Amino acid sequence: MAAYILRRLLWGLVLLVLVSLLTFVIFYVLPSADPAQLRAGRDASPATLHEIRVSLGLDRPLTVQYWTFLRRLVLHADLGYSYFSGASVGSLLLDRLPATISLTLGAVVVWLVVAVPLGVVSAVRRGTWVDRLTAGGALLGISVPVYWLGLVALYLFASDIGKVPLLPGAGSYVPFSKDPWTWFTSLILPWLVLGSTFAAVYARLLRGNMIEVLSEDFMRTARAKGLSERRVVWRHGLRAAVTPLVTLAGLDVGLLLGGAVLTETVFGIPGIGRLNYDSITHADYPVIQGTVLLAACFVIVANIAVDVAYAYLDPRVREA
């Protein structure tokens, strides 16, 4: 298992280099704003522009630029400095990471707490009003864009602009270390919004798996043993139905840790996604590269974690 994980990690590194190259190419090949121009401000003289270009290393050939970036990253773990603010990209990412992690983990809790019971109950009672209601809710959750849902939530419940001012609105996020209570309340709306869109999808997926599992022979065996119906469904059934979903959930968590761009933007949460969004509007290449690489890292690690978890959850996979 250790050798397997090591091999996967090495492949992950190769993938990261490819991702960084792709990000680099896309930034320079596709039309984008001139970073020097943005940094110099309006009406800068050509001399100033040139000076900035030289200082940022933008005058050198692209291959050299990429090589320099890669060397600094590998040798010094240095992602460079923001064209826009001059801050080190590494420190920017570290600053933003706690907000993204807070958002993601809370959303995961919401989505599991909602999706698992809904999925199981609508499978066991399929065709009843519970099932139809969750089907409708899920359809809504799947089809509605998360930013729209976020705006509606703010419009309804935010303490500043909401019709029923219940919860802190956009831009109210404070770090946990500063004020845990405000941290918590400010994240409730984003958690619910982000979590419910995932919950909708997962409830439906779980329902589908569960319906299949309910007709399995081993469920009949469990009943024949004299187990209570609750135990048959929630232990024997759920265990089998939820396992395939772990893969998907792991990958989704990895993606979210890379930044829930839309949710963070709508709610003004200073996370990785928001940083990514801002860096793109500022043509801030080093920060774009940093956020993209971080997201790629999370996805790669999530992939490996999911495979390991799956081997743990399904003993049949272990030997394979």
Partner 1 sequence: MSALEQPSPAAAEPVLRVEDLRVAFDTREGLVQAVAGVSFAVAPGRTLGIVGESGSGKTVAATTAMGLSRGPRVRISGRVLLDGEELLAASPERLRALRGAQIAMVFQDPLSALHPLLRIGDQIGEAVRAHRSDASRAAARARAVELLEWVAIPDAARRVDAYPHELSGGMRQRAMIAMAIANEPRVLIADEPTTALDVTVQRQILALLRRLRDDLGMAMVFITHDLGVVAETADEVAVMYAGRIVEQAPAHELFAAPRHPYTWGLLRSMPRLEAPAGAALVPIPGRPPSLIDPPSGCRFHPRCPYVRERHREVEPALEPVAGALGHRVACLLSEAERRALWARLAAGATPEQARAAVGQAAPAAAPPAAEPPA
| Site residues (vs partner 1, CB under 8 A) | 216-218, 220-229, 231, 236, 239-240, 243, 313-316
CB-wise, 78 or 314, nearer to partner 1? 314
CB-wise, 72 or 220, nearer to partner 1? 220
CB-wise, 203 or 238, nearer to partner 1? 238
The amino acid sitting at 116 is V
The least distance separating partner 1 from the CB of residue 242, rounded to whole angstroms, comes to 10
CB-wise, 179 or 212, nearer to partner 1? 212
Q: Of 81, 68, 66, 85, whose CA–CA distance to 26 is shortest?
A: 66
User: Partners of 167 in the beta sheet?
Assistant: 158
Cα 72 to chain center, whole Å?
A: 27
Which residues, including other chains, have CB under 8 Å from residue 250's CB and lie 6 or more apart? 302, 303, 305, 306, 309
The least distance separating partner 1 from the CB of residue 158, rounded to whole angstroms, comes to 44
The least distance separating partner 1 from the CB of residue 233, rounded to whole angstroms, comes to 13
Angstrom distances, CA of residue 201 to CA of 15, 193, 211:
29, 13, 16
The least distance separating partner 1 from the CB of residue 154, rounded to whole angstroms, comes to 43
Q: Of 287, 295, 298, whose CA–CA distance to 91 is shortest?
A: 287
The least distance separating partner 1 from the CB of residue 118, rounded to whole angstroms, comes to 22
The least distance separating partner 1 from the CB of residue 314, rounded to whole angstroms, comes to 6
CB-wise, 175 or 244, nearer to partner 1? 244
Give the C-alpha separation, 141 to 135, whole Å.
Answer: 10
Q: Of 144, 240, 129, 149, whose CA–CA distance to 201 is shortest?
A: 144
Start-to-end Cα distance in the chain: 11
The least distance separating partner 1 from the CB of residue 55, rounded to whole angstroms, comes to 60
CB-wise, 32 or 228, nearer to partner 1? 228
Alpha helices, H only, the chain: 2-29, 35-40, 46-56, 62-76, 89-124, 129-143, 146-157, 180-214, 217-224, 229-231, 238-257, 261-266, 272-281, 285-313, 315-319
CB-wise, 121 or 199, nearer to partner 1? 121
